[in-house]
Chain A
Amino acid sequence: MAVAQGAPRRGALVSFKIPRGRAASLSLYVARRILWLIPVLFFVITITFVLMHFAPGSPWDREGKQLSAAVIRNLNAKYGLNEPFLAQYVRYLVNVAHFDFGLSFQYEDQPVSSLILKSWPPTAVIGLLAFVMIVIFGIGIGVVAALRQNTWVDYAVVGFSTIGASTPAFVLGIILIIIFSVTLYRITGGNFSLPTGGFALDQHLILPVVTLATLPIAFIARLTRASTLEVLRQDYIRTAWAKGLRERLVVTKHVLKNSLIPVVSALGPTFAVLITGSVIVESVFAIPGIGRAFVVAVGSRDYPMILATTILFSVVVALANLVVDLLYTVIDPRVRLG
């Protein structure tokens, strides 16, 4: 009787015959990567929790007027800070599994999860808009610069990406404010200018999104340009021309299909950059998003809030990297899923 493909051999202890076909190995790879998320998250949570717990001073220290001992005792009891460390740790882990991140130290009686739910929309909107801009403009100008190498277009793109990649986001944001809010205001006699802050689904979005997207656009443009230039020199592009293919076909199916591979790979870390950037941009433009909530929590040592946002950021970054890595295995057939 023939043994079915993939079934364990008789007598073998545990034998997984890898099923033929890339689809099967792909799903195994996906499963492995998702499982790998768990120890990473665990690590992040543990480290942050430990650091917070053993931090010098108590979270109730206030500048100036100190709280009375009785109040502090009550607070400690309320937040369970009197329990032994391990108990707190385990309780926290259990709670997190139920998406309960505790109560905020700052805004007493407010569960952290509701605070997060309230503040994530502006961050998401600006972040997503910025991401779209990055993909369209970053890749777009990178490709154009490579195809028109050594023309003014190329020099402009290279100049822009060099400066854009080295200018910190908050400097850029402030300069943009000065130009488009202050100066425009003065020039148009108070009639028109872009708002300096606040969140709304209108022109309030322009400056923050531009500020957030500029640095990643510069990076992606530079990478795309370099990768495309590299591919253009390859022999198989010459083969494509020798076959008599039209220019558009050569560019899309041969040049871009190869040159965009490292770019897609780089979009994963771009998410991390966007998160970091949103912290800064929300502070510069006074946007009530998670980034600014995080900064405020840091300033007032609201540990549950800090912990929760840290976990959230890690999850987003890890997921983004995972998606990108998976995408990469699909677009590059040479990659071994080992």
Chain B
Amino acid sequence: MAAATAVSLEQIDWENPEQIGLWQDAWQRFRRNPIAVAGLIFVCLLLLDALVAPLLVSLHLIADPLKQNAANSYAGFSLQHPFGTDYLGRDLLSRVMFGARISLTIGLTVQVIYLLIGGTIGLTAGYSGGRVDNLLMRFVDIWYAFPDLLFLLVVVSIFQPSLFVIFGAIGIIGWVDLARLIRGQVLSLKEKEFVEGARAAGSGPTKIILRHLLPNTLGPIIVSLTFGIPRAIFLEATLSYLGVGIPPPTPSWGIMIQDGNQAIFAYPHQVLVPALALAITMLSFSFIGDGLRDAIDPRMRR
């Protein structure tokens, strides 16, 4: 009979691994990044604006963005029109605020399409491997080779531009990065030895896998989606600027920039206001994306 058997392993609690703290840990790190937080604050304000704008109009706190008043065109800053009016006499401030609704709607919704298409293709390619994987990746490569804006323009030339068409077109073009990413994640998951080990060990391996693997794979996917938002916003704004985007009179920042271009020498603020709104929105999402990336990947050190 063994005397003092020295070795005693700590009881490992398989049901509640510490990995759950991964998200709290990432959030802590994100919080400490002032630029990312600034971006987040701005985006929240933007969201608030997008949700609340129609309410404000009905409460007569801001003007109706569609109401034209030719007599009052190109007005300067005033209490009634804090940003002035455009060439048709429409209030600039409310148009900018409503423009956020378009941008955010497209930016966020398109990610769903990315996830659906990119996710399906990526998962299929990753799981199947072999010929199917090869074929799909060749397809992805060809798709990737063509610049997205140009293809978008081609699509838009064929179908009448409307919100739906633009949604669809942007979605169909941009899923490639996500597909590649998801495929890569699936492939690396297949390789992991502890998947084998967990399978061999039995008892609740799926739970462990889900608890451990999922947080690590979700991270880059979320980052990719976050970066996809400013890209989608940019594409829509560019189309509108070129005149083949959202049809007027819906206020999109792109259209507003184009409209303001006509009188840029006399009234530069017409162009500056929507341009800055667009730039700052895209920047904010990029900052959030950067911050998320740094927060989730512990190896990144400044």
CB within 8 A of A182: which of B268, B286, B287?
A: B268
CB-defined contacts of B157 to chain A, threshold 8 Å: 297-299, 301, 306
Judged by a CB distance under 8 angstroms, whether A314 is at the interface is: yes
Interface pair A178/B279, CB less than 8 Å apart:
no
Which of the segments A50-58, A89-97, A203-211, A256-264 contacts the partner chain? Answer: A50-58
Assess whether A276 is in contact with B264, with CB atoms less than 8 Å apart: no
A317 within 8 A of B: yes
- Chain A contact residue count (CB 8 A cutoff): 45
A178 and B264 within 8 A (CB): yes
B262 smallest CB distance to A (angstroms): 12
Residue B61 at the chain A interface, CB threshold 8 Å: no
Output the least CB separation between A275 and chain B (Å): 6
Interface window among B5-13, B145-153, B204-212: B145-153
Q: Report the Cα distance A256→B282, complex, angstroms.
A: 33
A167 at the interface (CB under 8 A from B): yes
What is the CA–CA distance of A196 and B268 in the complex, to the nearest angstrom? 13
Closest residue of chain A to B227 (Cβ to Cβ) is A166
A167 touching B282 in the complex, CB below 8 Å, given contacts A182-B268, A273-B147, A294-B150: yes
Which residues of A in the span 163-189 have a Cβ within 8 Å of any Cβ on B? 163, 165-168, 170-171, 174-175, 177-178, 181-182, 185
* A167 to B153 alpha-carbon distance, docked (Å): 20
In the assembled complex, which residues on chain B have CB atoms less than 8 Å from the CB atom of A170?
A: 237-238, 241, 257
In the assembled complex, which residues on chain A have CB atoms less than 8 Å from the CB atom of B159? Answer: 55-56
Q: Which of the residues B238, B264, B278 comes within 8 Å of A280, measured between beta carbons?
A: B238
- With A283-B242, A314-B145 known as contacts, the answer to whether A171 contacts B153 (CB < 8 A) is no
Does A88 sit within 8 A of B, measured CB to CB?
A: no
A163, A168, A301, A306, most chain B CB atoms within 10 A: A168
> Chain A, 31-73, contact with B by CB distance < 8 Å: what is the 0/1 string?
0000000001001100010011001110000000000000000
What's the nearest-Cβ distance from chain B to residue A280, in Å?
6
A43 touches B278 (CB 8 A): no
Give how many A-B residue pairs fall within 8 Å (CB-CB). 114
B154 within 8 A of A: yes
Assess the A298–B156 pair: CB atoms within 8 A. Answer: yes
Would you call A55 and B158 a contact (CB within 8 A)? yes
Residues of B within 8 A of A224 (CB): none
Are A178 and B271 in contact (CB-based, < 8 A)? yes
Interface string of B159-171 (1 = CB under 8 A from A): 1100000000000
Q: Are B271 and A52 in contact (CB under 8 A)?
A: no
Q: Is A279 an interface residue (CB 8 A)?
A: yes
**Which residues 260-319 of A have a CB within 8 angstroms of B?**
272-273, 275-276, 279-280, 283, 294-295, 297-299, 301, 306, 310, 313-314, 317-318
A321 contacts chain B at the CB level, 8 A cutoff: yes
Which residues of chain B are within 8 angstroms of A306 by Cβ–Cβ distance? Answer: 154, 157
Q: B158 contacts which chain A residues (CB < 8 A)?
A: 51-52, 55-56
- CB pair B150 A182 closer than 8 Å: no
Asked whether any CB of chain B lies closer than 8 Å to the CB of A162, the reply is yes
Contact status A168-B278, CB under 8 Å: yes
Closest CB-CB distance, B102 to chain A, in whole Å? 15
- Contact, CB under 8 Å: A279 / B142: no
B282 and A166 contact, CB distance less than 8 A: yes
Interface hits, B250-287 → A, CB 8 Å = 257, 261, 264-265, 268, 271-272, 275, 278-279, 282-283, 286-287
Distance in Å from the Cβ of A191 to the closest Cβ of chain B?
15
In this complex, what residue of B is CB-closest to A43? B142
Nearest residue (CB) in B for A159 is: B35
| 24 A/B residue pairs, CB under 8 Å, sorted by A | A40-B142, A44-B146, A56-B158, A163-B283, A166-B230, A166-B283, A166-B286, A167-B282, A170-B237, A170-B238, A170-B241, A174-B275, A178-B271, A280-B149, A280-B242, A295-B243, A297-B157, A298-B153, A298-B154, A298-B157, A313-B146, A313-B147, A317-B147, A318-B145
Which A residues lie at the B interface, using CB under 8 A? Answer: 40, 43-44, 48, 51-52, 55-57, 162-163, 165-168, 170-171, 174-175, 177-178, 181-182, 185, 196, 272-273, 275-276, 279-280, 283, 294-295, 297-299, 301, 306, 310, 313-314, 317-318, 321
* Nearest 6 Cβ contacts at the A-B interface: A55-B158, A298-B157, A166-B286, A276-B147, A276-B149, A272-B147
What 12 additional pairs, Cβ within 8 angstroms, besides A163-B283, A174-B275, A276-B147? A43-B142, A51-B154, A56-B160, A162-B283, A162-B287, A166-B230, A175-B275, A275-B150, A279-B150, A280-B241, A306-B157, A310-B154
